[in-house]
Amino acid sequence: MDVELRGITKRFGPVVANAGVNLEIKGGEVLGLLGENGAGKSTLMNVLCGLYHQDEGEILIDGKPVKFDGPGASIAAGIGMVHQHFMLVPVFTVAENVVLGVEPTGRFDRLDLETARAQVREINDKYGLEVNPDALIEDLPVGIQQRVEILKVLFRSADVLILDEPTAVLTPQEVDDFFEIVKSLRDAGKAIVFITHKLHEILEISDRISVLRAGRITGEGDPRQLTEEQLAEMMVGRPVSFTVDKTPATPGQPMLDIKDLVVMRDNDEIAVNHLSLTVNSGEVVGIAGVQGNGQTALVEAITGLTHTSSGAIVFDGDDITRMSVRERHRRGMAHIPEDRHKSGMIANFTIAENMVLNSYYDDEYARGAAIDWPHVSETAAAFCVDFDIRTPSVFLQAGNLSGGNQQKMVVARELERETKLVIAAQPTRGLDVGSIEYIHKRLIGSRDEGDGVLIVSSELDEIMALSDRIVVMYKGRIVAQFDNTGGKADRNAIGLAMAGATEGAAA
C-alpha cells in the first residue's frame, strides 16, 4: 500500500506545526523521518492517524483521496501507529490486549480470545515476533511489550506502520532484534515510517530519509550516500559537534557520599544491594548499566522519591537519608528525572509554572505570600531562549510542547539555578542532536563550576563522552569502576561488566 501526503498544513493557534508537507510512504520500504525537536513529526503522523484533522492538504491511499474523521477510520484504512508510550493493560494477557478495542461487545468472548491466540501465533511466525499470547503484560520486559504494540496493529491488518522513536527505551541487544522484525515487515511489503533522533539507526534501517524542519520538508536523501554529520546539519541547519569538549576534572571534596545503601522494590526484591559510591565536586561520574539493574531505585533514593531500607546518603557533609525531596532540592540538588511525565513536570500547568515548580517558595520568586508572576515569566522566557525551547509563549500549557521541548524545559529548570549536585537520569532522551550538544555542554559547565554530577544513561556513548569516572551497575551493585580521563576507559570491558561478567568481583 502506498500513501501520499499532499500539502498538509496543521496549525495550533499561532503555531504552524506542519506547513504544506508533501511526503510519500511506499509499501516494501522503510522511510526514516528526521527532524529537530518541535519540527512537526508527531503532528504529521497524528494527522495520518486521524487523531488531528489537517487545516489544508489531502491524504491519498494508492492514489485515491481519503478523509479520516477519527483514528478508527485511519486504522480501517490500514494505518497503524506504534506509540512511544505503550498503551497496554498490564494485568491482561498479550492476547487480551490484542483483542481489546476490536471486540464489538466490549467483553472478552471465549471465541474471540481463541481466535486472537491463534492469530497472534500466526503473526509471530510470519514476522519472527516470538511473543507468548498467554503471557501477562506486567511480566514482560519493555522490548517484548513493544512487540505486543506491533502485534496489535498487525492484528488490525495494518499495511502502514508508524514507529515513533521505537528504540528510545530499548537496550542495544533489543534494538538489534527489533531491526530484524522491522526488516521482515518491510520484506513482507509493509510500509514503515521510522522516527528517531539516533542518526546511526536511521542510516542503518532506512531505505529513504526525509527531514522536517520548522514544519516543512527541507531535505530528502539516500542513506547509502549520507553521513551522520550531513544528516545533523540537514536537521538543525548548522554543523553539530558529536564530541564533548572538556578539560580533565579537578575533583574536590565529596559532594555525594552513599554508604552501604539498600533499597527494596515494592515486590520485596532487592533493587540496590549494599551500594557505596562517592561523587566529588568538580567531577562527572557516569553509571553505565543495562536498564533494570537498580539505577532507577538508586536515583529515587538519592533524590528522596523512595525510601531506603538501610545505609546512608550524605550530601555536602550532611546526612540527608531521611530528608524530604524539597529539602534536598533547597540545599542545591538538581534532578533531571528519567520519566519527566511521572516526576518532572505537570502537563496542564503553563511552561512558566513548570519552570518554578520546585522553587516557588524561594525568596527569588515570592512576594510575601504571593508569587511574583512577572518575574517568573521573565525568567521562564530567558530559560526558553538559553535552551532553545520552541514555543510562542511561556503561558502555554507545557503538555502542548513537543516531547523534546518538554525535556529541555525540565533540564532548564534544574540547571538554571544555584546547584551543588546534579543527578541526571537519561538527560537527553528524545532530544535532537543539536539539543544534546547544548545539554552536554551545560552538564560539563556545572562540573566546571564545582558541582558534583552523576549521570545515569542507557546510552554508553553518552556515558563515555561525559564522564570522568565510570561505574557499572549490575543487579543492584557496582561491579566495576573505570577511570575515563581523556576518554581512556575500555569500552569493551565496560560492556562485559554491564553483561555481568565481573559479578562476584565487585569494586
- List interacting residues with ligand ATP (CB under 6 A): 12, 15, 17, 35, 37-43, 390, 400-405
CB of 335 to ligand ATP, least distance (A): 21
Q: Considering the complex, state which of residue 8 and residue 95 has its C-beta at the smaller distance from ligand ATP.
A: 8
CB of 392 to ligand ATP, least distance (A): 8
- Residue of minimal CB distance from ligand ATP? 404
CB of 45 to ligand ATP, least distance (A): 8
Handedness of CA 179, 458, 344, 213 (dihedral sign): negative
C-alpha 386: how far from chain center: 21
CA dist., res. 181 & res. 159, Å (int): 15
- Would you say 192 and 185 are in contact if contact means Cβ atoms under 8 Å apart? yes
Q: Considering the complex, state which of residue 31 and residue 255 has its C-beta at the smaller distance from ligand ATP.
A: 31
CA dist., res. 479 & res. 464, Å (int): 17
CB of 37 to ligand ATP, least distance (A): 3
Angle at 338 between CA 309 and CA 318, to 5 degrees: 45
Angle at 149 between CA 120 and CA 29, to 5 degrees: 95
CB of 74 to ligand ATP, least distance (A): 17
Q: Considering the complex, state which of residue 1 and residue 16 has its C-beta at the smaller distance from ligand ATP.
A: 16
CA dist., res. 332 & res. 414, Å (int): 10
* Residue ranges in 223-324 assigned as alpha helix (H): 228-236, 295-303
Q: Considering the complex, state which of residue 15 and residue 506 has its C-beta at the smaller distance from ligand ATP.
A: 15
CB of 363 to ligand ATP, least distance (A): 32
| Residue in 115, 96, 112 with CA at minimum distance from that of residue 104 | 112
Q: Considering the complex, state which of residue 278 and residue 393 has its C-beta at the smaller distance from ligand ATP.
A: 393
Q: Considering the complex, state which of residue 19 and residue 507 has its C-beta at the smaller distance from ligand ATP.
A: 19
Checking 87-92 for CB contacts under 8 A at 24+ apart, the result is: 87/149, 88/137, 88/145, 88/148, 88/149, 89/137, 90/136, 90/137, 90/138, 91/136, 91/137, 91/138, 92/136, 92/137
CA dist., res. 206 & res. 143, Å (int): 20
CB of 10 to ligand ATP, least distance (A): 8
Q: Considering the complex, state which of residue 15 and residue 381 has its C-beta at the smaller distance from ligand ATP.
A: 15
Q: Considering the complex, state which of residue 223 and residue 403 has its C-beta at the smaller distance from ligand ATP.
A: 403
CB of 100 to ligand ATP, least distance (A): 25
Q: Considering the complex, state which of residue 41 and residue 328 has its C-beta at the smaller distance from ligand ATP.
A: 41
- Would you say 477 and 274 are in contact if contact means Cβ atoms under 8 Å apart? yes
Give every CB contact of residue 170 below 8 A, 6+ residues apart in sequence.
142, 143, 146, 178
Q: Considering the complex, state which of residue 43 and residue 145 has its C-beta at the smaller distance from ligand ATP.
A: 43
DSSP for residue 243: S
CA dihedral 52, 58, 62, 64 (to 10 degrees): 120
Where do we find the cell 500539502?
Answer: 7
User: Cell numbers at residue 382, please?
Assistant: 530567558
Q: Considering the complex, state which of residue 40 and residue 434 has its C-beta at the smaller distance from ligand ATP.
A: 40
CB of 61 to ligand ATP, least distance (A): 22
CB of 294 to ligand ATP, least distance (A): 29
Phi, psi of 366 (to 5 degrees): -100, 145
CB of 436 to ligand ATP, least distance (A): 12
Q: Considering the complex, state which of residue 24 and residue 388 has its C-beta at the smaller distance from ligand ATP.
A: 388
CA dihedral 6, 79, 45, 106 (to 10 degrees): 140
Phi, psi of 425 (to 5 degrees): -105, 120
CB of 46 to ligand ATP, least distance (A): 8
CA dist., res. 129 & res. 188, Å (int): 14
Q: Considering the complex, state which of residue 17 and residue 129 has its C-beta at the smaller distance from ligand ATP.
A: 17
Return the bridge partners of 60, or none.
Answer: 4, 65
CA dist., res. 153 & res. 157, Å (int): 7
CB of 177 to ligand ATP, least distance (A): 24
Angle at 227 between CA 197 and CA 143, to 5 degrees: 35
**Where are the extended beta strands (E) located within 187-232?**
191-195, 208-213, 216-221
